[in-house]
Each structure stands twice: as structure tokens, then as C-alpha cells.
Structure 1
């Protein structure tokens, strides 16, 4: 069974279009939607915003099910010049950029790092190429902060210069999945970038297009994963 975690209702709704739903249940306000996609058992849930919500959703998902892997989709802000709106970012690794025990631990106390599953990462790249989606692979900076100030950008890039996008859930999902020994990959759609303000899109239009694109990617990825076996 594959667990699919989406950040927003719109993303869940688009994924469900590709799923034969068999049942639903709600635990601690987290709805789990079970079904099959291309004859593969899947369970879908919405994480909500922030690392607290994401960690709760991922914990429930892992405790309730024997998972072969987790695919997490959502939205992020781009941090490099090459990115454009609706490009995808695939996780090489994830850093909790707001984790800071440096007053006690020095430099080693800056950030918690997690590595995405290599096979899922490579399969995501292949699925993007099949779907004709522009993508980037690198470090996802995760923090409970919507970056809107220049100093926010300056801080994350000075401490974690390999970061190529910033968002608010991946660090928690990576931490919980790693603890449960469940392979995972994080995929983020770029909603805006710090370098290209002129390519911004009205958000409701962006959400619709990004959600459909992410759902198609997940559908292709799952098909490829299980065809390989």
C-alpha cells in the first residue's frame, strides 16, 4: 500500500479522480481515504498546514497501515533562479530549517536533516519526464514560516545554501516516515519564486493547475512503481 499525503483539499480532490474509493475513516480530524489506483492499494490524507499538522497526519497514516512508501505533494516557494511557477521540486534531502539548538550544540544544532528514498526519487524524475513536467532535484527547506521578507530568504540561504525551495510540512513528514522506516519522497509545486515576480499566477488558478499536475504525476509514478515489480 502507498500512502499519499496532500497539503490542500484541492490536491486531495484531484487525486481521488484517479482512485476507486473503497472506504473512508476519520481519526483525530484526519480523514483517511482508501482505494485503489491502477489496482494498487492506496490511502490518501490531507496534512494541513505546518509541521504539527503534518506530523500528526503522517503518524496516523503509519500506525494504521503497512505502507510500502509515502508520496507527499504540496506547494513551495522557489529559491533559485532556474525555477518557474508550476515547476516541480523533487526531494534529494529535507532540512528542518527552523530547528536550532546552536546555543547548546554549536553548528551541529542548526537544522535536522533527512534523506529521501533514492528509488522513489528516481521514479519521480522518470514520471515527470513522461508527463512533460519541468522539475528540479535538491534540498527542501522546511520551517513553520511563510517566507515573505528578504531577511527570511537571507537566513535560510546563508545557513542551508543547497536549499531550492521553502515550505512548511516536509520536515515533519520526513522525520515521522524515517522513524517508522517507511520510504518516502517529497514533491513540491512552485507557486512563486523570489527571483521571478513577473511569473506569478493568480492563486486560485495556480491551485487548480498544480493540483491536477500533481495528481497526474502520482498516478504515473504509482503505475511505474508497480509495473517494475
Structure 2
């Protein structure tokens, strides 16, 4: 019998996944200091381990490491939640699946070029193509079937991570200039991707636009988050509905 597909799921805050865990069966949890890892199942085909990491790269990397260490059979690590728009065409409720992530505050010059991660000698990380294609198809199918009501049609692109809440148009423009094609900015995704890369686990970063990363960002973020919590689980459901055709991690 094929073992259930096991997803690791992280968000910075409960609102970014949907804090109601009633959709999971056989629920259990383990505590690691102030981090709680919840485990449960959805039928016989999917297991889920999830946690809320807290804000920022260190908290996200710590949570990712703990989550992956909690079970050796995790097939895919997903970080999801809200983000600021770097692409001026994006609006609230736009969905962006990262086809690459970068840490915009990594700068080890002159030893390494700007943005390069010394541990991996790369400036940007890309998800495994088969998992990316699977997730993109799942999201588009759910959208076309009316399962993502309220969300805009999912798209993809570069997402940048840094330990700074971007709420300054001048700072945002500098990032756009430095990172052509940048679509969204946030505070955790690329750190989780780095941990997953170094642990040999496939990963995805899935974000929903909450604000314009400008002077109005803080208020927009707070207002949006209250509404988003009620809808966040729909994105996860869109992925889980196609678990029967998901790739499998080699043992």
C-alpha cells in the first residue's frame, strides 16, 4: 500500500493558513519551546504537519527545521501567507506562486556577489519543476472551477524575502531596480526555501497580496488579514484536491 502523501505547511501567523484545525482528523501536537507542530490527516491519502512560525527569517528557518525534523516522510514543504506587491499591476487578493525566491537583504560582498547565499552559492532558489507545475495546475483548476472565489487568477514570479516590513515606496523602488521582474516582498519564504534546499526537501512558496508595500501598507495589511483568515484554507484545499497526481519524493 502506498503511504499517504505528507505535506509540511508553514505560515507566519495563524491567519495566514486559517487557524481552524477542524478539517484535520486524528489531530495531535508537539511543543518545542514556543513552537507547536500540529499533525493530522485528511482521509487516507494525505497527512499534514503544520506550524505557525512567527515573523522573519530566523523564526521561519527555525520552524522549518523543527517541522522537517519531526517526520522523515515529509514530501513537500509549503510556506504560505500574505505579501506586499512589488509589481504595480498586482492588487489585493492576487495569488502568486513563486517560481524563484531571493533574500533581498543578503549581502556578503566582497566575498560573494550581492544576494548570493554563501551556503548554496546561489542568489536565487527555484522550486523543483514537477512540484511547481503540479501546484500551478492545481491552483488554476481550482480557480476555473470556482473554488477560489474572492481570489484573483493565480500567477507566478519572483518573490523576495527580507527582515524588513516594506512600507516605503523609495525602498520598494530600489528593490525593483535591483531585482528585475520582482513581483512580491515578504519576510519568510526564501529562508524556508534555503532550509528545504539544504535538507533535500522539495518546497513551494505561495503568497496572496495584502498591500502595496507603500506608505499605506501597514493599515492595508491589518485590515486585509482579518478578512483573509476566513479564506486562507481554500488555497491549501486547491493543492490537496490534486494530491492523487502529486509528485513523490524519492526516499
Tell me how far 1:219 sits from its aligned partner: 1.7
Residue in 1 that maps onto 2:57: 51
Matched, 1:75 2:82: yes
Cα distance change on mapping 1:34 and 1:124 into 2, 3 Å? same
Residue in 1 that maps onto 2:3: none
Matched, 1:136 2:142: no
**TM-score when scaled to structure 1?**
0.88
Cα distance change on mapping 1:154 and 1:227 into 2, 3 Å? closer
In the alignment, is the contact (CA less than 8 A) between 1:38 and 1:223 conserved in 2?
A: no
Higher strand share: 1
Tell me how far 1:159 sits from its aligned partner: 1.4
Q: CA RMSD in A?
A: 2.4
Which runs of no fewer than 5 residues in structure 1 stay unpaired? none
Bigger CA drift: 73-82 or 186-195? Answer: 186-195
Tell me how far 1:119 sits from its aligned partner: 2.6
Cα distance change on mapping 1:38 and 1:93 into 2, 3 Å? farther
Cα distance change on mapping 1:87 and 1:17 into 2, 3 Å? farther
Tell me how far 1:23 sits from its aligned partner: 0.7
Which runs of no fewer than 5 residues in structure 2 stay unpaired? 1-5, 117-122
Tell me how far 1:223 sits from its aligned partner: 2.5
Residue in 2 that maps onto 1:116: 127
Residue in 1 that maps onto 2:138: 127
Q: SS of the counterpart of 1:113? A: coil
Tell me how far 1:122 sits from its aligned partner: 2.2
Residue in 1 that maps onto 2:108: 101
Tell me how far 1:90 sits from its aligned partner: 0.4
Matched, 1:88 2:95: yes
Matched, 1:187 2:193: no
Residue in 2 that maps onto 1:160: 179
CA distance in 2, matches of 1:98, 1:228: 33
**TM-score when scaled to structure 2?**
0.81
After superposition, the C-alpha distances for 1:166-221 in whole angstroms (9 at most, x for unaligned) are 000011100001111111100111011258x79x85734x2243234331111220
CA distance in 1, matches of 2:42, 2:180: 38
Matches within 5 A, 1:194-205: 194=213, 201=220, 203-204=222-223
Cα distance change on mapping 1:186 and 1:202 into 2, 3 Å? closer
Higher helix share: 1
Bigger CA drift: 127-136 or 164-173? Answer: 127-136
Q: How many residues align?
A: 225
CA distance in 2, matches of 1:212, 1:100: 38
